[in-house]
Homo-oligomer: A and B are copies of this chain.
Amino acid sequence: VKGERTEPPAIDLSADVGERNGSWSTQDDAGFLRLVTSASIACGFHAGDAVVMREMCERAVTHSVRIGAHVGYNDRLGFGRRRVNVAPSELYAETLYQVGALIACARAAGGRVAYVKPHGALYHRCLEDSEAAAAVVRAMSVVDPNLVAVAQPGSALLACAADGGLRSVAEGFVDRAYASDGTLVPRSDVRAVLDKERAVRQACEIATQGAVTTNDGSILPLTVRTLCVHGDTPNALTLVTEVRAALKRVGADIEPFA
């Protein structure tokens, strides 16, 4: 029962960062890295590049923010949000590549990559496609068995991580509407992305109640350890600022997962 909970569990606050090209404009990312506890850094496939990755890693280390590899399809024009029929063996190689590249950038900054999170269409594919999820997990295991897999509750990625002996963490979304089956309302639906007020409310509900109000008004249990704000949601920086403040107001303990 919701009312019985007296002490909200610790919650990690993360943002997708480094979703740009080149070195000419990363000001919002700098802001994110002062506010979040984890940063999912684009690895040059769906967005980002070596220069941005290096900068993100340095900022993350400066602000003691946990570094995650945001691995995606090599489809910059589609921002990694279009399905690409990458075979599992290709996905294995592309995960090695992206994670390895970020590990080097993180090491150069005096940090390390703590987790791996698929992006966009690959994130959604890994919900149900066990072969794809297993390929990602296999690449993680080989590169660094301490890497943590991050995915939605129920994702095949979490199951594969468990099978592969990797730790994993369940993720909730601040700025995206949930359907009553626990999936995200797809971006093709105009109500997919929440406005700021609703997003802040949803963050607090998830963090303190272990539940989320879905787009049909029902209450869905949702236990997660990390909350994500998308870097390209309009006014994402303001949103993260307000979410952080609101979480503190309701007594949530904002701290990275172990």
Output the nearest chain B residue to A96 by Cβ-Cβ distance. B104
Q: Which A residues from 91 to 114 make CB contacts under 8 A with B?
A: 92-94, 96-105, 107-108
Q: Is A183 in the interface zone, CB < 8 Å from B?
A: no
Residues of B within 8 A of A162 (CB): none
| Pair B108/A78 contact, Cβ less than 8 Å | no
Residues of B within 8 A of A108 (CB): 92, 96, 139, 142-143
Question: 12 A-B pairs, CB-CB below 8 angstroms?
Answer: A24-B81, A44-B97, A50-B94, A50-B98, A51-B90, A74-B75, A82-B84, A82-B87, A100-B102, A101-B101, A101-B104, A104-B142
User: A99–B93 contact, CB under 8 A?
Assistant: no
Q: Given A78-B84, A104-B103, A104-B143, does the pair A97, B53 have CB atoms closer than 8 Å?
A: yes
Docked Cα-Cα span, A74 to B101, in Å, equals 14
Question: Cβ of B94 and Cβ of A105 under 8 Å apart?
Answer: no
**What would 5 more interface pairs be, CB under 8 Å, given A53-B93, A74-B77?**
A22-B77, A24-B232, A74-B75, A85-B121, A92-B108
**Known contacts being A54-B96, A142-B107, is A83 close to B81, with CB within 8 Å?**
no
CB neighbours (8 Å) of A105 from chain B are 93, 96-97, 100
Is A257 at the interface (CB under 8 A from chain B)? no
Q: Using Cβ atoms and an 8 Å threshold, which residues of chain B touch A49?
A: 74, 77, 97
Whole-angstrom CA separation of A24 from B20 in the bound complex: 13
* A86 at interface by CB-CB < 8 Å: yes
Residues of A within 8 A of B (CB): 21-25, 44, 47, 49-51, 53-54, 74-79, 81-87, 89-90, 92-94, 96-105, 107-108, 121, 139, 142-143, 232
Task: Pick the 7 closest A-B CB pairs, nearest first.
Answer: A100-B104, A50-B97, A83-B85, A54-B93, A50-B93, A101-B101, A108-B142
Cα separation A76 to B75 with both chains bound (whole Å): 10
Chain B hits for A50, CB < 8 A:
77, 90, 93-94, 96-98
Q: A77 CA to B102 CA in the complex, in Å?
A: 17
In whole angstroms, what is the CA distance A99 to B51 when docked? 14
A47 proximity list for chain B (CB < 8 A) = 21
| Chain B residue nearest to A87 in the complex (CB) | B82
